[in-house]
Amino acid sequence: MQSKIATFPSVEATPKSTALLPTAADYSQAEQHFIQLLETEDLDDKLAEQRVSTNEVDGAIAAAMAAAYTGEGGDVQAHRFLQRVLYRINRLKLFWYDDLRHYTNERSLYLRAVRDRIETAWQRWETEQLDTASYQEMNLKQVLSDWVAADVDPLPSADQLFIHEQVGEAGYRRLVAIASLDGLVEASQLSRTLGGVSNEIHAVLTRLLVEEYGAGRLGRKHSSYFTVMLEELGMKTEPEAYFDLVPWEVLAIINHSFLLTERKRYFLRYVGGLLYGELTVPAAFRHYQAAGERLGLSKAAMSYWDLHIKVDELHGRWMMDDVALPLMEQYSNDAWELVFGYDQQRLLSDRAGIAVVQAVRNADQVHDQ
């Protein structure tokens, strides 16, 4: 039986009726096929010899791109499928201490073409959410300073107050499960930016990474503190154990970080985004810490939140004073890109935050039924 996915052969073709859109099951089937391709020995050679087919995957990608990045772009399943495919390609840039054969296609031309195809459409769509021309008309240092002052300790949102005051155990466990995808490999993308010439800015970024990695001591690596929290909750501690629970909006942040750190031309954008991430973590994590304490978790289990509340305040100042501002001086003609990166990270984070809290609320509701 021909898959409905195959009815959408190109990204330019916009679905005319929602009845023709691929279902979640269709995307799941295509993703399983994609995983098989990832694990196929000598994939590019087999493709050249027509010994394997990518028609189902390519058709699904075309359909998903049309549904996600044209019109209102509100097809959640399409976004989810595309971000999961991107993530599965991007994770090959990190080493997971698993079967070496899993990396046989890490330089596959086909996988690179799939990544570039999705990223091009996705990033165009993301950029359209912001008025990029306006950044070039700004007093950049003043704008960035004002944004940092407002974002470092904002008034709590309704969603944050819900986490702080009301989230139940099921919801808290869902929050931790989603956060584990990044929390257990924390700062890995930052490591991709540290090769090259040494200078004061490079030294600050290196110091930031060294602190995240516990100065080479496993027990002090920030991800180890996350593992302690998972263990106390009786949850799985393997990286990616809860991958299927992660909203596409969270995957988009991770994939965005991979893109910016792999493209040195986007270095200023990455620094802007990293600045936003470091300086806003303490305010957000205070609510998570309060929820954990209210639910009776131990001090050790709360150490991940507590550590970041303490150190990321300092990291935020480092990023602003010793990285962002000096880079704005050095790259005066391109400094707007740093502000763009900050603003885009804020947009991505706000969108992901809404999705995570919705997942948390749903978990509590299901538990209470």
3-class state of residue 295 by DSSP? coil
Assess contact for 29 and 56: CB atoms under 8 A. Answer: yes
Residues 147 and 107 in one domain: no
Q: What CATH number is attached to the domain comprising 204?
A: 1.20.910.10
Q: Is 98 left (phi over 0), alpha (psi -120 to 50) or beta?
A: beta
Angle at 136 between CA 134 and CA 138, to 5 degrees: 75
Measure the CA–CA gap between 323 and 205, rounded to whole angstroms. Answer: 8
Which residue has tokens 């994609």?
34
Q: Output the pTM of the full model.
A: 0.93
CA distances from 5 to 18, 30, 293 (A): 13, 8, 47
Both 79 and 176 in a single domain?
no
Q: Do 95 and 207 lie in a common domain?
A: no
Written as tens digits, the pLDDT of the chain (369 aa) is 333 334 444 434 444 444 467 999 999 999 999 999 999 999 999 999 999 999 999 999 999 999 999 877 689 999 999 999 999 999 999 999 999 999 999 999 999 999 999 999 999 999 999 999 999 999 999 999 999 999 999 999 999 999 999 999 999 999 999 999 999 998 899 999 999 999 999 999 999 999 999 999 999 999 999 999 999 999 999 999 999 999 999 999 999 999 999 999 999 999 999 999 999 999 999 999 999 999 999 999 999 999 999 999 999 999 999 999 999 999 999 999 999 999 999 999 999 999 999 999 999 999 887
Report how many domains make up the chain. 2
Please state, in angstroms and rounded to a whole number, the distance separating the CA atoms of residues 136 and 343.
13
Candidates 332, 352, 278; CA nearest to 126 is 352
Residues 246, 203, single domain; the answer is yes
User: Which tokens in the block code for residue 29?
Assistant: 């089937």
Contact present, 212 and 182 (Cβ < 8 Å): no
Domain boundary among 76, 99, 127: 127
CB count in 10 Å sphere of residue 144: 22
Q: Which residues of 157-176 are buried (b: 16+ CB within 10 A; e: fewer)?
A: eebbebbbeebbebbbbbbb
Beta carbons within 8 Å of 83's beta carbon, 6+ residues apart = 248, 251, 252, 255
Q: Can you give the pLDDT at residue 227?
A: 97
Residue 93 in domain = yes
SS3 assignment for 41-102: CCHHHHHHCCCCCCHHHHHHHHHHHHHHHCCCCCCHHHHHHHHHHHHHHHHHHCCCCCCHHH
pLDDT recorded at residue 44:
98
CB distance 187 to 213 below 8 Å: yes
Range of the domain at 338: 139-368
Asked whether residue 99 falls in the same domain as residue 123, the answer is: yes
Would 132 be classed as within a structural domain? no
46 and 156 co-located in one domain = no
- In this structure, are 270 and 165 located in the same domain? yes
Contacts of 306 (CB under 8 A, 6+ apart): 289, 299
Q: How far apart are the first and last CA of the chain?
A: 39
Check whether residue 196 and residue 94 sit in a common domain: no
Q: Distance between CA atoms of 103 and 218, rounded to whole angstroms?
A: 25
Residue 215 carries which DSSP code?
G
Name the domain boundary from 93, 127, 161: 127
Question: The tokens 């990285």 sit on which residue?
Answer: 323
Is residue 133, in this structure, part of any structural domain at all? no
Q: Let me know if 326 is exposed, middle or buried by CB neighbors in 10 A (0-12, 13-18, 19+).
A: middle
